[in-house]
Amino acid sequence: MCSIVESNIICIKKKVAEKVRPMVNIVWILLILIGLVVAAFNGKIEAVTQAALDNAKYAVELCFGLIGIYALWLGLMRVAEEAGLVKRVSRKMQGVMRFLFADIPARHHAIGAITMNIIANMLGLGNAATPLGIKAMKELQELNPHKDRATDAMCMFLVINTSSVQLIPATVVALRSTAGSSNPTEIIGTAFIATVCSTAAGIIAAKILQRYY
Amino acid sequence: MADIIDIISSFAIPAFIFVVLVYGLLNGVNVYDSFVEGAKEGFVTAVKVLPYMVAMFVAISIFRASGAMDILVSLMSPVTEFLGVPAQILPLVIMRPMSGIASTGILAELFKVYGPDSFIGRVASTVMGSTETIFYTLSIYFGAVGIKRIRYTLWAALLGDMVGLIASVVVCSIVFGR
C-alpha cells in the first residue's frame, strides 16, 4: 500500500492502478491464450513463436526511436509550465465554463480549478493536469450535500475530461513518425474534429441524463 | 472543410512551439535551460514505456500470427460494417478506455502491420488522439473525494467515445479518402 513519504496523488494513482489493472490483465492474457490455442489448431505454432520474438525486439527499437520526440515535447512542456501558460489561457475560458457549470456559485474556486485542469489536458500537460483535477473535485465536493453521490457538476466535469479536446496528440504523432509516416502530423486536424464531436456528444448526453438520474 | 483540417494539421506544432517560446520569453523564463531540463525526461519516459510496449506487442502479435485476429475481424464484421468502422482497429477501441500505455502498444502494432499512412493507420491515429482512458480517469477523480454513486458519468463518457469513434471514421474518409 501507500507509504507516508509518498504524496497524496501518487498514492491515489497507485490505488487506482490496482483497480484498473485486472481489466487490462484479462484482455492481455486472453489475447495470448486465444492466440496460442488458435495457432495450435491452425498449425501456426512456429509462426507464433517467430512473431513473438520479432515483435519483442521491434518494440524495444520503437521505444528508443521515441526518445528524441519525447525529449523535444517534454522540453516544450516544461517551458509552458514554467511560463504559466495554463493560468493565462484559463482566465479567458472561464466564461464558457460558467455556462456549462451553471449550478456552481459564480465566484467559487471550483470554476478556476476545473478550467485549469481542462486547459492543461488540452495542452497535453498530463503531469500538471491531475493535481488540478483532484483539486477541482475537492472544491466540488464542498458544495455537495450528499458526500457519496456525484453532483451534476462533477459528472459534467469528468465527461468533459474523459472526452478531452487535446490540441496536439503528441504521442500519436511521435509513433507515426517513428513508424515512417510521410506526414506524421496529418491526423492532428482529424483528431481535433473527432474530439470536438465526442466532447459535444458527452456534454449533451450529460445535460439530458442529469434529469433522470 | 478538408482544407481547413489540413491547415490545422500542418500549423499546429509550429504554432504551438512559437506560442510557448514567445510566452516563456515574455514571462522571464530562461527558455533554453528550462527546455533542456524538461527534455531530460525524454529518455526516462521512453524507458518507462518499454516493458508495457513489449508486453502488448508480443500479445497482439501472437493473436495476429495465429489467425485469431482474422477470426475476430470476420466475427465482428456485421457490427463494424454497420458502423462503418474498420474491424482491424477493434482491439484498439476495446483497450483505449482501459489503459493509455497498452493502447499505445496496440496502435504501434497497427502501424507496423498496415502502415501509418493506410486508412486503418489514419483512423487508428485519429481514434487514439481523440479519446481518453475513461475507466482510469473516473476512478482517480471520484476515488480522490470518495464518491461511490457516479450516476450517469460512465454512460455519458462511453457515449462520447462511441461518437468520437464514428466521427473519426467519417472525418478520415472525407479528408483522406478510403
Confidence class of residue A1 from pLDDT cuts 50, 70 and 90?
very low
- Give strand pairing partners of A149: B149
Closest CA to B66 of A20, A213, A124, A36: A36
pLDDT at B99: 86
Alpha-carbon distance A3 to nearest alpha carbon in chain B (angstroms): 17
Of A84, A138, A159, the CB nearest to B27: A84
Q: Where are the domains of chain A?
A: 67-209
If you average pLDDT over residues B55-75, what whole number do you get? 93
Whether residues A163 and B160 touch (CB distance < 8 A) is answered with: yes
Size of interface A-B (CB pairs under 8 A): 391
Of A24, A147, A176, the CB nearest to B111: A176
Q: Which residues of B touch A199 (CB under 8 A)?
A: 160
| Chain A CA closest to residue B65 | A48
Per the structure block, which three cell numbers stand in for B88? 482491424
Confidence class of residue B89 from pLDDT cuts 50, 70 and 90?
very high
Mean per-residue pLDDT of chain B: 92
Confidence class of residue A4 from pLDDT cuts 50, 70 and 90?
low
Alpha-carbon distance A54 to nearest alpha carbon in chain B (angstroms): 9
Check: CB of residue A97 under 8 Å from CB of residue A139: no
pLDDT at B37: 94
Look at the alpha carbons of A132, A195, A100, A152 in this order and tell me if their dihedral is positive or negative: negative
Per the structure block, which three cell numbers stand in for B93? 477501441
Confidence class of residue A10 from pLDDT cuts 50, 70 and 90?
confident
CA atoms of A15 and A1, how far apart (whole Å)? 8
Q: Tell me the CA end-to-end span of chain A in Å, nearest whole number.
A: 35
- State the amino acid at position A164 in one-letter form: S
B109 pLDDT more than 80 = yes
* CA distance to A28, A59, B110, per residue, from A51 (Å): 16, 12, 14
**Position of cell 453521490?**
A149
Note the Cα A17 to chain centre separation in Å: 14
Name the H helices within B27-152.
31-39, 41-65, 68-83, 90-95, 100-114, 119-130, 134-145
B166 inside domain: yes
| Chain A CA closest to residue B154 | A159
Confidence class of residue A126 from pLDDT cuts 50, 70 and 90?
confident
Range of the domain at B118: 49-176
Of B5, B62, B149, the CB nearest to A48: B62
A136-188 residue pLDDT tens: 999 999 999 999 999 999 999 999 999 877 888 999 999 999 999 999 999 99
B115-159 residue pLDDT tens: 999 999 999 999 998 888 898 889 889 988 989 899 999 999 999
Whether residues A66 and B64 touch (CB distance < 8 A) is answered with: no
pLDDT at B153: 94
Check: CB of residue A196 under 8 Å from CB of residue A188: no
Share of chain A above pLDDT 70, in %: 95
A32-65 residue pLDDT tens: 999 999 999 999 999 999 999 999 999 999 999 8
The contacts of residue B80 (CB under 8 Å, 6+ apart) are B86, B87, B90
Q: Which residues of A touch B151 (CB under 8 A)?
A: 149-150, 155, 209-210, 213
Q: Which residues of B touch A76 (CB under 8 A)?
A: 16-17, 20, 35, 38
Whether residues B130 and A137 touch (CB distance < 8 A) is answered with: no
Crossing angle for the helix pair A170-178 and A187-209, nearest 10 degrees?
Answer: 150
Q: Considering only residues 93 to 112 of chain A, which have any Cβ-Cβ distance to chain B shorter than 8 Å?
A: none
Whether residues B60 and A31 touch (CB distance < 8 A) is answered with: yes
A72-124 residue pLDDT tens: 999 999 999 899 888 888 888 888 888 888 888 877 888 888 999 998 888 88
- How high is the ipTM of this complex? 0.91
Q: What domain count does chain B have? A: 1
pLDDT at B155: 94
Share of chain B above pLDDT 70, in %: 100
pTM for the whole structure: 0.89
